[in-house]
Amino acid sequence: MTENTLKEKINMNGNNSIEIDCAPNGKPLNYKILNEEIHQVINSGYKKIILNKVCGQRFIGASLQGDLEFVINGVPGNDLGIFMDGPKIIVNDNCEDQAGNTMNNGTIIIHGDGGDVIGLSARGGKIYVKKDVGYRVGIHIKEYERKHPVIIIGGTARDFLGEYMAGGLVIILGLKILPDGKITENDYPICGNELGTGIHRGKIILRTNEDLQSKLGVGAKLFKPDEDDLKHIEPYLKEFCEIFSIPYKIITQKPFKVVKPISKRPFGGSYCGQIV
């Protein structure tokens, strides 16, 4: 792409910030072109990139590093922030599937619904979703050294929440945040079936009165939160509330339940190494 055509689509705002029209003349850009433009503006030194009229473009923020901020106006496509290591992405709308796939670090804030498979295999970073999310959220998230992924969902989640979880923290709040900012309790179940199936590290915290026993998956066990759990989650919840303008006291109006692994080796006994 020549510099001139690039200039037509982008709008420099000063302060290291730049806007990109992702659908010039109403025609959404192909993701390859959009991501190439993003790389070009980053190479030119821009730190804050505002993407307007985003319409399903995939892999935004893929494998980007450092102190960058994206504001996405529109609905980004699958694999938002895949392999990302540091940047912050704010989505002012809903988001498609697999946001934060294999993320190493960074922040994804979604001011709407999230999709399925959020944070697949993420090793670090934060994913905050204001409304509801789909299936297999937090699947196989891990932790390592100081890396500790945190996923907080304002609304509810579906089946296979925290499947294969190998570390980190998932919190589901069960709230309903209306367009006018009014906040009520969500009528839907806090989560679906097979909750935490295969979990072998980390924890899932659910703000609910529901009886979750029958929803638990293989290797998952229900606990009451202890002091440490509450201390662990408090700073993240406060940050979440501040971002989405939720009064913190609403959070404390319902009890938390905690899902943790039965053991670190849930499947240790299912194999036989006998010489035959």
Binding interface with another protein (CB under 8 A): 31-32, 35, 39, 58-59, 62-63, 65, 78-79, 82-83, 85, 97-98, 101-102, 104, 117, 120-121, 123, 136, 139-140, 142-144, 147, 163-164, 166-167, 198, 200-201, 264-276
Please, what is the minimum distance in Å from the beta carbon of residue 112 to another protein?
Answer: 21
* 166 neighbors 200 (Cβ within 8 angstroms): yes
Please, what is the minimum distance in Å from the beta carbon of residue 133 to another protein?
Answer: 14
**147 versus 254: smaller Cβ distance to another protein:** 147
Please, what is the minimum distance in Å from the beta carbon of residue 237 to another protein?
Answer: 24
What does each C-alpha distance from 23 to 5, 8, 10, 31, 54 come to in angstroms?
A: 14, 12, 11, 11, 7
Please, what is the minimum distance in Å from the beta carbon of residue 100 to another protein?
Answer: 11
**83 versus 236: smaller Cβ distance to another protein:** 83
3-state secondary structure of 218: coil
73-86 exposure pattern, b = at least 16 Cβ within 10 A, e = fewer: bbbbbbbbbbbbbb
**76 versus 154: smaller Cβ distance to another protein:** 76
**12 versus 262: smaller Cβ distance to another protein:** 262
**19 versus 143: smaller Cβ distance to another protein:** 143
Structure-block tokens of residue 120 = 């697949």
**106 versus 154: smaller Cβ distance to another protein:** 106
| CA–CA separation, 142 and 202 (whole Å) | 8
Side-chain-side CA neighbours of residue 21 (13 Å): 13
103-107: long-range contacts at Cβ-Cβ below 8 A with a sequence spacing of 24 or more? 103/127, 103/149, 104/147, 105/147, 106/61, 106/81
Please, what is the minimum distance in Å from the beta carbon of residue 200 to another protein?
Answer: 5
Query: Which residues are within 8 A (CB) of 62 and not within 5 positions of it... i.e. 6 or more apart?
Result: 35, 79, 81, 82, 83, 84
* 117 neighbors 125 (Cβ within 8 angstroms): no
**4 versus 274: smaller Cβ distance to another protein:** 274
| CA–CA separation, 154 and 6 (whole Å) | 38
**178 versus 272: smaller Cβ distance to another protein:** 272
| CA–CA separation, 49 and 224 (whole Å) | 43
